[in-house]
Amino acid sequence: MAAATVSSSPRASMMVDRPTLSRYLQDTAARPAQSTAVADCADICGAIGVACKTISHQVTMSSIEQTHAERADTNDSGDRQKELDIIANNVMISALRHCGRIAAMVSEENRDLILCDASRGGARYAVVFDPLDGSSNIECSVSVGTIFGIYALPPDAEPTAADVLRPGRELLAAGYVLYSSSTILVMSLGKSEGVRAFTMDPTVGEFVEMPASPVRVPASPKRIISGNTGNAEIWNLPTSEFVRWTRRQKERYSLRYIGSMVADVHRTLLYGGIFMYPADFFNRNGKLRILYECFPMAFVLEAAGGMASTGSGRILDITPTSLHQRSPIYIGCKRDVLKIEQLFKRVPHLYSMHCAPISDGRRTARHAAAPIVQSTTVANTTASSPPTTVPATTATATATATGDREVPAAKRPKTDDVDAGGAYWEFEMIHYTLTEDFAGDTDNFELSGSKGALFQELVRMNDPEWTLATDCDTGERGLLPTRLLVCSRTEVSHKVASTDFTGDVCSSDDAVEFLAGDAALKFRYMSDERWAFAVNARTGQSGIVPSAIFAS
């Protein structure tokens, strides 16, 4: 009788050799030296895995069942809800309630803390989650995901919101599930356990560990920026300068932005680079929720050897004050996040440097109320030092003297629990001359220039020995030693338009007409150097104009 043969196909071998999510969690919980908390978190992650299988199916069927349709109402975070958001939220809540380990939950879709039956002895944990991140893109089949984090709760007490409002470094476990061409679960039970990645095998209905697991941020990360550069004009100044710096590098950075945090961060985890959602002029506290979006993602990236920051410091060290508090975030490989933090230390945290000026038509809509300027930059026409910062108490008088303008109410930033300062600036342009040759270090955001080169748009840094300046000839921005810059006493020829620009090809309301031969006063480049702000010397009108129409 012939002996039975064993299949040696690659797929069969993978199924035997690669552990499933269930097996990994069981093996982790069964280790002799393993803590009770890790074993309990393994049970909770198992329940989340079951819930996400259901959500994955619902996402796949959403186009057929029309569950991606937008509802008329919004959730308590202010986002428009879709039917699929509610379905995913209910699935997560139901799975966690029956887990037996959960006493409280925080969801993006619920205003208040969700309490569970805590009568079971093991129910001493809280789960924070976003049931369906990126759902606004679901109609066009863009990747979406679920984000989660697990906290331990104080024993023998009914949970309160204060028990969950704790720094992200106190998370016991965190992870996310990506619903895309495949369904992928990425999780970490702490730095000692690393980051594990599992992909759904639909033929057996189980998450199978990926060959690349455990996952680490690459030692030689790719140069990728992931961020909504459509908001670049209203980003804070350190972020804008970081993007400018990347454009000057010999090894160019690529721009990759999906618009779904789970998808963008997953790519950043695998390839390196940086994902960022900065604060901007209208959203001073950022837009992503810190408790159930920023914290879990930062926990995973740090466990994989990456880094996550608000720009000013480690994001996991923040103690939230409300369940749906928002925060800016910069997350990715240490190389790029450290560069961002370096800029935040050196460059003032302003928002107005790259905002397009208000058009003449809207300028008539000024309000009699006091302007919301907290501080403003004044160009000193008699001293040889760069512009300095004036306290808010003198901002009104300063604005009158220098041409700085109040911001109409329609353009003012949102003021709910945020600092309302930082209106638009309009600078009196003074040119500064470099007194000697300077070879700057581009890795430290420094410019180079020869003796006699002209610079404008000077901003004093946090370190007064350095000044942020724009090269009048090239439009490049960077840092120069303050001691080498003196106010120019010579006549400076204005830029002259070499071709006509009527403004018809520009969608901005702030475009200004220039004819060939018109001189440009107060010329300054925008963050997108293809455009500039200028005053037409013939008409006196100010606005946005293409840089290319001016003769060099």
Indicate which residue of 40, 84, 113, 133 is catalytic. Answer: 133
Indicate which residue of 40, 130, 209, 336 is catalytic. Answer: 130
Indicate which residue of 43, 109, 241, 336 is catalytic. Answer: 109
361 in helix, strand or coil? helix
Residue 211: asked if its preceding bond is cis (omega within 30°), the reply is no
Q: Is position 341 annotated as part of the catalytic site?
A: no
Distance CA 188, CA 45 (A): 10
Indicate which residue of 40, 108, 264, 457 is catalytic. Answer: 108
Q: Is position 491 annotated as part of the catalytic site?
A: no
Contact between residue 145 and residue 260 where contact means Cβ atoms under 8 Å apart: yes
Q: Is position 79 annotated as part of the catalytic site?
A: yes
Name the nearest CA neighbour of 218 among 271, 265, 267, 262. 271
Indicate which residue of 21, 25, 96, 132 is catalytic. Answer: 132
Give, in order, the Cα–Cα distances in Å from 194 to each of 187, 207, 301, 333, 440: 9, 18, 10, 16, 40
Q: Is position 130 annotated as part of the catalytic site?
A: yes
Q: For residue 125, which amino acid is it?
A: Y
Distance CA 268, CA 288 (A): 17
Q: Under 8 Å CB-to-CB from 358, ≥6 apart: which residues?
A: 405, 407, 408, 411, 424, 510
Indicate which residue of 40, 43, 85, 280 is catalytic. Answer: 85
Contact between residue 475 and residue 502 where contact means Cβ atoms under 8 Å apart: no
Q: Is position 293 annotated as part of the catalytic site?
A: yes
Distance CA 510, CA 533 (A): 9
CA-based R_g, the chain, Å: 27
Q: Is 45 exposed, middle or buried (0-12, 13-18, 19+ CB in 10 A)?
A: buried
Pairing mode of beta strands 542-546, 102-107 = unpaired
Q: Is position 108 annotated as part of the catalytic site?
A: yes
Q: Dihedral of CA 231/234/236/237: which sign?
A: positive
Indicate which residue of 264, 280, 293, 471 is catalytic. Answer: 293
What count of other Cβ atoms lies within 10 Å of the Cβ of residue 291? 26
Distance CA 364, CA 393 (A): 25
Catalytic residues: 79, 85, 108-109, 130, 132-133, 293
